[in-house]
């Protein structure tokens, strides 16, 4: 299997969204485990309008790198994002940098996977988010 440049995928997504269509592909990476499994899950995206906390979004870092992470919080300056399998919260991320929002995940057998974070993972996030906000407020 040949890997495709994310820049090309992002361009194709924009074209698909301009036609009012969704776009699907199989992402690679471990940062969204266990929700999205490296090279195994087929993910469907739609345009990222009105993103909300717990949405999984594809966004572009200022470095040009594309990342698929979950919104774990929102503060005045922007959104807080973190991979389900990561500890570091990225902040602030702006809506203008969010290219697409995940609307469906399917496994190799076509079985639908829940987009929602599991209970324990969610609890850990809430803890991380609280610590992060505390750090911001204290700085």
Partner 1 sequence: MKLKDGFLLKTVAGSKIVVPIGEQSSAFNGIITLSGSAAFLWEKLQVGATEEELLDALLTEYRVDRDYAAADLKRFIEKLHTAGMLEA
The residues that touch partner 1, with contacts defined as CB under 8 A, are 4, 8, 11-12, 15-16, 19, 21-26, 42, 44
The CA distance from 36 to 15, in Å, is 24
Least distance in Å: CB of 90 to partner 1?
28
Q: Which is nearer to partner 1, 42 or 54 (CB)?
A: 42
Residue (113 or 121) nearer to partner 1, CB:
113
Query: Around 42, how many Cα atoms within 13 Å sit in the side-chain half-sphere?
Result: 10
Shortest separation between residue 106's beta carbon and partner 1, angstroms: 8
Q: Which is nearer to partner 1, 64 or 119 (CB)?
A: 64
How many helical (H) and strand (E) elements, i.e. helices and strands, does the chain have?
2, 8
* Distance, CA of 32 to CA of 56 (rounded, Å): 9
Q: Which is nearer to partner 1, 24 or 37 (CB)?
A: 24
Q: HEC states along 90-116?
A: EEEECHHHEEEEEEEEECCCCCEECCC
**Min separation Cβ 16 and partner 1, Å:** 4
Least separation in angstroms between residue 68's CB and partner 1 is 16
Count of CB atoms situated within 10 Å of the CB of 35? 22
């Amino acid at each position: 299997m040949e890997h495709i440049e994310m820049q090309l995928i992002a361009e194709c997504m924009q074209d698909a969204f301009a036609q009012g269509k969704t776009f699907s592909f199989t992402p690679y990476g471990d940062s969204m485990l266990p929700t999205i499994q490296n090279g195994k899950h087929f993910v469907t995206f739609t345009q990222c309008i009105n993103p909300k906390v717990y949405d999984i979004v594809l966004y572009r870092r200022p470095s040009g790198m594309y990342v698929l992470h979950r919104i774990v919080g929102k503060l005045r300056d922007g959104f807080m994002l973190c991979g389900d399998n990561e500890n570091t919260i990225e902040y602030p991320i702006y809506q203008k940098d969010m290219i697409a929002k995940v609307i469906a995940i399917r496994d190799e057998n076509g079985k639908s996977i829940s987009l929602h974070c599991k209970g324990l993972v969610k609890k850990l996030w809430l803890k991380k988010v609280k610590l992060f906000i505390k750090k911001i407020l204290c700085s």
